[in-house]
Amino acid sequence: MEASNASTLWRLRKKAAVLARACSSVGGPQVRHVGTLVGNVVNAMPAADGAVALFALDAELEVTDRAGRQWRPIGELYAGVGRCTVDPAAQMITGIRFRPLPAGSGWAYWRLAQRRALILPMLNVAIVVQTQAGRFQDARIAVGPVAPMPFRARAAEEALKGAPAGEEAIAEAAQKAQEAANPRDSAVRGSGEYRKAMVAVLVRRGLREAVEKARTGRPEDQETGGPF
């Protein structure tokens, strides 16, 4: 079992390192040893670290009930803050799948919090990009908690596709992500105005890091980015 777990972790760090980094930010060691990634999703909180990374990976989850099994996009499992569409009395999630990051990919995970562990994030951002010949081919930007569920910054993603992988496109995407975000005021996380401004900061830093990883061909997890 230990060898199998080590092999799975190695594959995640090589092919889906954004998820490995996000999961390492959940709670503390005790929480991570007893919690599950599926639990992080069905809890349906918009800032759940593992779930935000799964949104950036365009993940699907297998929902099983008496009628059979069905793969559903992760976004379909959310009905609002803390509300999951999976019926706990009749259904169970039995699998998670996503495509491994191909060659020319980069990623980043940034987490803004008052301290590194054992606290809810004020903001978290998961980014996956694919570049070719110095241009963005694809980009996925997930942000939480700025909406009732983990939020995909679709306008920012579309602005990047085909654009040169440089500061101008990154700045435009960061601005579009900020404009689309709608965080509320929170006694725990800070004002909505502050967190909205920080969306642009984290997206910009994350895109720079992801582009650098894509450029160097070293997308594995090396503890180079947030949290901070």
Could you report the per-residue pLDDT of 175-214, keeping only the tens digit for each?
999 999 999 998 888 899 999 999 999 999 999 999 999 9
pLDDT for the residue numbered 225:
44
Per-residue confidence band for 6, with pLDDT thresholds at 50, 70 and 90 = low
The residue ranges of every structural domain in the chain are: 1-59+102-228
The answer to whether 172 and 200 have CB atoms below 8 angstroms apart is no
Tens digit of each residue's pLDDT (9 = 90 or more) over 8-56: 767 777 789 999 999 988 877 777 878 899 999 999 999 999 999 999 9
Among the listed residues 197, 83, 84, the one whose alpha carbon sits nearest the alpha carbon of residue 146: 197
Please state, as a whole number, how many other Cβ atoms lie within 10 Å of the Cβ of residue 84: 18
d(CA 203, CA 8): 29
Cα distances (Å, whole numbers) of residue 69 to 8, 63, 64: 24, 6, 4
Q: Is the pTM of this model over 0.75?
A: yes
Fold of 1-59+102-228: Enolase-like; domain 1 (3.30.390)
Per-residue confidence band for 61, with pLDDT thresholds at 50, 70 and 90 = very high
